């Protein structure tokens, strides 16, 4: 099988609109490229899109997770307290827990949904647990009803890792708005991108104030005008604090350097202009593949979309079935020869990522996450692809199975 007409399927894309280019040139001409009015506009529009009061832009999706968790220190959490996370995710999820000063407690995932096993969360709760961080992996919503039920019984915060879940819905609610905070990535391959970047959304203004402080080294001054350098002239809040010359150089908490800049925000504003178009095209591509994927079973399978949810069209997962004598490496190489780019389906953080070895977990403790970590991959469904690309991916998968069965 050869690529028809030189067809190729790259994993990701980025759309730089004419308006984004114009905004970038304007920012360069004004000489303001650090966070300013464009970042503020991006935050306001991102919040409005999700129907929440606050959105705080940061420098990466990892920082979005980290800062959302670090907020909890202002509300009673202590360093070393525990945060429950799924064992399977991009490594940033577990790293963020550690960066925020907490201890990750891992729970295995469901083989079909790829998300945290909701029935196993309660057993992981201890007196030191402060939060649950479900991950909506590959844009498929986690079981938020079950997560919230456990959180309410134990008075735990819920922070949604919605890095890959732009546009996803759970029982009619936008993913990222269901818990106390939602953390998004705006990395280059995602539906809304700022090239590098992330956003935390919340309805709690007190959380947003702490987030604005944390992204700027823990700075005391957190009002929107000063922290974004969008205002001028005398500010009573900045200079009116008794015994303090300049509030912007008082640091109330241990913070981070995690600000988004104007050039990134300009790209993000361009994506927001096209959001519904991008989302619709990616969803069309994903649905086309999902509706035809059953013919590849049981040797290969993917996620499904239930009536009570809508998938965020991040990518198409491809998982080798347990009864199939196939190797992921062979499949990846087969696809690559046909110019179809792919990514592995992450790994079991506690048992397959060497950086987490110090936590003392042992192989076999998270069998589902470990299986997916060695038998799963994903391919793109982005807005630069057409249905012929998706059919080519499906045809290539069929070709791989036919060759393997000879």
Q: Does domain 275-404 have CATH number 3.90.1150.10?
A: yes
Q: What is the pLDDT of residue 247?
A: 72
Q: With 70 as the cut, is the pLDDT of residue 240 above it?
A: no
* Sheet with 376-380, edge to edge strand ranges: 300-301, 315-320, 376-380, 343-344
* CA 120 distance to own-chain centroid: 22
DSSP designation for 101: T
The closest alpha carbon to 116, from 95, 134, 140, 132, belongs to 134
As a three-state string, the secondary structure of 217-248 is CCECCCCHHHHCCCCCCCCHHHHCCCCCCCHH
Evaluate whether 123 touches 108 at the Cβ level (below 8 Å): no
Q: Are the C-beta atoms of residues 206 and 157 closer than 8 Å to each other?
A: no
Residues shown for the chain: 406
**Which region among 108-117, 222-231, 237-246, 322-331 has the lowest average model confidence (pLDDT)?**
222-231
299: pLDDT strictly greater than 80: yes
Does pLDDT of 116 surpass 80?
Answer: yes
Q: What is the mean pLDDT of residues 193-204?
A: 97
Measure the CA dihedral 253/258/263/266, to 10°. -80
Q: How many CB atoms lie within 10 A of CB 47?
A: 19
Residue-level pLDDT at 2: 47
Rounded Cα distance, 64 and 146, in Å:
24
| Residue 251 pLDDT | 85
In the predicted structure, residue 1 carries a pLDDT above the cut 50? no
Q: Which two tokens stand for residue 80?
A: 């070393």
- The runs of H, that is alpha helices, within 293-357 are 328-337, 349-352
Q: What is residue 264's DSSP assignment?
A: H
| Residue 97 confidence (pLDDT) above 50 | yes
- Predicted pLDDT of residue 246: 72
For residues 26 and 171, give the distance between their C-alpha atoms in angstroms, rounded to a whole number: 42
Give start and end residues of each alpha helix (H) in 179-307: 205-214, 224-227, 236-239, 262-273, 275-292
Predicted confidence (pLDDT) at residue 225 exceeds the cutoff of 70: no
% helix, strand, coil for the chain, step of 5 = 45, 15, 40
Q: How wide is the angle at C-alpha 148 spanned by C-alphas 215 and 54, nearest 5°?
A: 30
For residue 23, pLDDT beyond 50: yes
Residue 222 pLDDT grade (very low, low, confident, very high; cuts 50, 70, 90)? confident
Q: What is the pLDDT of residues 344-400, one digit of tens each?
A: 999 999 999 999 999 999 999 999 999 999 999 999 999 999 999 999 999 999 999
Here the tokens at position 7 are 């067809």
Q: Torsions phi, psi of 104, nearest 5?
A: -75, 135
18-272: in CATH 3.40.640.10: yes
pLDDT band at 120 (very low <50, low <70, confident <90, very high): very high
Residue 66: which H helix or E strand, with range? helix 61-70
Centre a 10 Å sphere on the Cβ of residue 216 and count the other Cβ atoms it contains: 21
Taking only the tens place, the pLDDT of each residue in 58-89 is: 999 999 999 999 999 999 999 999 999 999 99
Q: Specify the DSSP element, H or E, that contains 42.
A: helix 37-50
Mean pLDDT of 89-93: 98
Q: Which of 255, 267, 294, 230 is nearest to 37 (CA)?
A: 230
Residue spans of the domains in the chain: they are 18-272, 275-404
pLDDT confidence bin for 226, thresholds 50/70/90: low
* Long-range Cβ pairs for the range 46-51 (8 Å, 24+): 46/192, 46/199, 46/201, 46/268, 46/272, 47/201, 49/272, 49/275, 50/174, 50/176, 50/177, 50/182, 50/201, 51/174, 51/177
Give one word for 65, left, alpha or beta, with left for phi > 0 and alpha for psi -120 to 50. Answer: alpha
- Report the predicted TM-score, pTM, of the whole model to 2 decimal places: 0.94
The confidence score (pLDDT) of residue 231 equals 53
**Could you tell me the two tokens for 122?**
């309660």
Question: Which residues have a Cβ under 8 Å from the Cβ of 290 and sit 6 or more positions away?
Answer: 302, 303, 304, 305, 316
Provide the 10 A C-beta neighbour count for residue 28: 13
pLDDT surpassing 60 at residue 230: no
Question: Taking 70 as the threshold, does the pLDDT of residue 227 lie above it?
Answer: no
User: 152-166, 244-258, 260-274: lowest mean pLDDT where?
Assistant: 244-258
Distance of CA 78 to the CA centre of its chain: 25
| pLDDT tens-digit series, residues 156-165 | 999 999 999 9
Contact by Cβ (8 Å): 307, 346: no
User: What is the overall mean pLDDT for the chain?
Assistant: 94
- Position 250 scores a pLDDT of 83
Regarding predicted confidence, which is higher, 293 or 237? 293
Residue 164 near residue 303, CB atoms below 8 Å: no
């Amino acid at each position: 099988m050869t690529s028809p007409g030189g067809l190729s399927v790259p994993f990701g894309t980025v759309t730089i609109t004419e308006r984004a280019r114009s905004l970038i040139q304007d920012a360069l001409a004004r000489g303001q490229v650090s966070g300013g009015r464009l970042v503020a506009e991006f935050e306001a529009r991102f919040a409005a899109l999700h129907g929440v009061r606050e959105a705080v832009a940061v420098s990466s999706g990892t920082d979005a997770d980290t800062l959302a968790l670090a907020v909890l220190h202002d509300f009673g959490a202590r360093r070393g307290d525990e945060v429950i996370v799924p064992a399977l995710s991009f490594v940033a999820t577990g790293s963020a827990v550690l960066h925020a000063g907490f201890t990750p407690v891992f729970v295995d995932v469901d083989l079909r949904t790829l998300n945290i096993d909701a029935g196993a969360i309660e057993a992981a709760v201890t007196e030191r647990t402060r939060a649950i961080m479900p991950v909506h992996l590959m844009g498929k919503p986690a079981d938020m009803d079950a997560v919230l039920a456990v959180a309410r019984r134990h008075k735990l915060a819920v922070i949604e890792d919605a890095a890959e879940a732009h546009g996803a819905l759970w029982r009619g609610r936008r993913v990222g708005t269901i818990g106390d905070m939602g953390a998004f990535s705006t990395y280059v391959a995602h539906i809304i991108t700022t090239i590098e970047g992330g956003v935390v959304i919340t309805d709690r203004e007190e959380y947003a104030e702490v987030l604005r402080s944390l992204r700027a080294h823990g700075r005391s001054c957190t009002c929107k005008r000063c922290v974004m350098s969008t205002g001028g002239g005398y500010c009573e809040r900045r200079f009116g604090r008794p015994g303090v010359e300049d509030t912007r150089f008082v640091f109330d908490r241990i913070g981070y350097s995690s600000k988004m800049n104007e050039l990134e925000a300009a790209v993000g504003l361009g994506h927001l202009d096209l959001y519904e178009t991008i989302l619709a095209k990616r969803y069309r591509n994903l649905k086309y593949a999902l509706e035809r994927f059953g013919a590849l079973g049981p040797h290969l399978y993917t996620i499904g979309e239930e009536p009570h949810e809508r998938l965020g069209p991040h990518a198409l997962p491809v998982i080798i079935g347990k009864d199939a004598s196939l190797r992921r490496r062979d499949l990846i190489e087969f696809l690559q020869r046909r110019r179809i780019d792919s990514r592995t389906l992450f790994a079991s953080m506690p048992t397959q990522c060497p950086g987490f070895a110090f936590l003392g977990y042992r192989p076999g403790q998270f069998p589902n996450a470990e299986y997916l970590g060695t038998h799963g991959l994903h391919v793109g469904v982005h807005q630069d692809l057409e249905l012929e690309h998706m059919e080519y991916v499906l045809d290539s998968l069929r070709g791989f199975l036919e060759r393997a069965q000879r």
